[in-house]
């Protein structure tokens, strides 16, 4: 089992880097709704957020501008939820995403709370 160090101190250091992003979605009761992994490259990073471009998709994905959950990845090959393979990504990043309320009118905006996983992920 490998543990990783967090070595990012500046958002700008992420630009151009590759990562494997792990997302766990929870309902208001704390039950897991969905989990996915994305292999991506950082397009930009600033106070407005960290913009990722998944390898399998041209649609950008924006994360909160939080560095505490970015950990240097161990060497290896990772396969994401879309069956994309990434070799030796720079970082592993994980977030827990909690739905704030269970029901709402059709089309009503659902509020989600993004919680960074600040404990280094383990691999292996």
Report domain extents, the chain: 11-101
Strands (E) across the chain are located at 18-26, 32-46, 49-54, 61-63, 70-72, 77-79, 85-87, 91-99, 112-116
- Checking DSSP bridges between strand 18-26 and strand 91-99, what pairing results, if any? parallel
Q: How confident is the model at residue 105 (pLDDT cuts 50, 70, 90)?
A: low
DSSP 58: S
Of 29 and 2, which is predicted with more confidence?
29
Lowest mean pLDDT among 4-13, 14-23, 63-72, 76-85: 4-13
Q: Which residues of 23-53 are buried (b: 16+ CB within 10 A; e: fewer)?
A: bbbbeeeeeeeeeebbbbbbebbeeebbbbb
- Residue 44: its pLDDT value, please? 96
- Residue 2: its pLDDT value, please? 47
**pLDDT of 106 strictly over 70:** no
Summarize pLDDT for 25-51 with one digit per residue, the tens. Answer: 999 999 999 999 999 999 999 999 999
- Residue 91: its pLDDT value, please? 95
Of 7 and 113, which is predicted with more confidence?
113
Q: How confident is the model at residue 1 (pLDDT cuts 50, 70, 90)?
A: very low
C-alpha 51/C-alpha 117 separation (Å) is 18
**pLDDT of 103 strictly over 90:** no
């Amino acid at each position: 089992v490998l543990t990783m160090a967090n070595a990012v101190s500046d958002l700008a250091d992420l630009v151009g880097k590759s990562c494997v992003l792990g997302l766990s979605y929870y309902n208001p009761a704390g039950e897991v709704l969905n989990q996915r992994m994305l292999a991506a490259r950082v397009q930009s990073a600033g106070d407005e957020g960290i913009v990722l471009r998944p390898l399998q998709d041209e649609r950008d994905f924006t994360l909160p501008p939080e560095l505490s959950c970015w950990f240097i990845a161990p060497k290896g090959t990772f396969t994401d939820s879309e069956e994309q393979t990434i070799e030796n990504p720079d970082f592993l990043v994980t977030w827990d995403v909690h739905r704030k309320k269970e029901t709402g009118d059709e089309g009503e905006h659902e509020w989600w709370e993004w919680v960074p996983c600040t404990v280094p992920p383990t691999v292996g």
